[in-house]
Structure 1
């Protein structure tokens, strides 16, 4: 008897594997985007927060806020650079796409260095067949008596006309907190949440949330190691 392979079964099996791989890649992509958006000293973590990841000197906590369908997170690590350098990298909006995952463009709409306030517009890459996203966010920069610096961002309605090519994101908050530990040592914390909206269910967006801030801080570390030329800090931070 000659065995004849059932190519139809093989084809269906391979198709399922391809779909599973594409779904995993899409979930990881969304995770990176959420993290990339977090451009205040942060409140203490809620009691339901869990340490989801702890490796390579990066810790990530995730938790559910009753006001949001998407998971919130907080991550932290330490860099061997002056606090001013770490802050300058985050505030260098023009060059954010070169290291912040999936950010296609950042446009500064307004800036008041005396008040430490700014408004930005961002375009975010999403994988096919999903539409790209965009968002307008208002930011506030503060510095406390100990020299610690915070940047708090929140999505706003308006500020830029909607574009039919993008899905406008309106439910987002993101913080950066920089704690000076020494002349060349800074503790960096990143926290927030972002609803990608559109046809993406929150259950998908919530998968692998612990990976997004981890990847973000790792890319930040690599960029700082390149010793990039950064613009001066606003006068209020000097």
Structure 2
């Protein structure tokens, strides 16, 4: 049994590859490149949580999982990364991630825990990665950088039967500060598809990156 995430959390992620759970207020937000993005309004924050369903047609799922987990590589292909590394905070492993924001907005940083599992379910191979913010991790806040305290993400992937990956992602992020909710929600409309596009490109370049290391 994981100390970070329960069996139920892993199962709820991969089962949505088969049966999307869209009851309770989920609405179709946008669709592009064969990817559908749904959102659910959060009354407490005025922000939305997102579910993403689609296919990355040139990225095998194991490669996607490897790229997603490789923090050093992400610093090469994600232009929004200011700082990113896994570290030990008083003996507890966690990821520190600082994201660049455009002037005059302050950068945001995250301290989060994550876990990957490669599942074999009666011969069906599924890769699941879970992550959430870890406010109890003893990582000092930095001057001029706002700490994001509400962040959670789950990703499940399996083969699409060809050369790509069938993907499910669930995501919520509250950047805090004085950014209007409408602006955060507007940015998500292009941010999620752009991330998936960058991810596909990163997958195609990963072998070359590994050879250069």
Q: Which residue among 125, 128, 141 is the counterpart of 1:147?
A: 125
The number of residues matched between the two structures is 187
Q: After the TM superposition, which of the residue ranges 119-128 and 139-148 deviates more from structure 2? A: 139-148
Return the alpha-carbon distance in structure 1 between the equivalents of residues 187 and 144 of structure 2. 27
Which consecutive unaligned segments of at least 5 residues does structure 1 have? Answer: 1-39, 111-116, 232-238
Q: Which residue among 68, 77, 81 is the counterpart of 2:59?
A: 81
Does residue 207 of the first structure (1) align with residue 182 of the second (2)?
no
4+ runs deviating over 6 angstroms: none
In structure 1, the partner of 2:100 is 125
TM-score, normalising length from structure 2? 0.77
Q: After the TM superposition, which of the residue ranges 222-231 and 134-143 deviates more from structure 2? A: 222-231
Return the alpha-carbon distance in structure 2 between the equivalents of residues 89 and 171 of structure 1. 24
In structure 2, the partner of 1:225 is 204
TM-score, normalising length from structure 1? 0.70
* Alignment RMSD (CA, Å): 2.4
Q: After the TM superposition, which of the residue ranges 159-168 and 94-103 deviates more from structure 2? A: 94-103
| 8 Å CA contact 1:120, 1:137 repeated in 2 | yes
| 8 Å CA contact 2:59, 2:200 repeated in 1 | no
**Structure with bigger RCO (C-alpha 8 Å, 6+ apart):** 1
Return the alpha-carbon distance in structure 2 between the equivalents of residues 184 and 165 of structure 1. 44
Which consecutive unaligned segments of at least 5 residues does structure 2 have? Answer: 1-9
In structure 2, the partner of 1:61 is 38
Q: Secondary structure at the match of 1:135?
A: strand
Give the structure with the higher percent strand. 2
| 8 Å CA contact 2:58, 2:200 repeated in 1 | no
Matches within 5 A, 1:21-100: 40=10, 41-42=12-13, 44-66=21-43, 68-78=45-55, 79-100=57-78
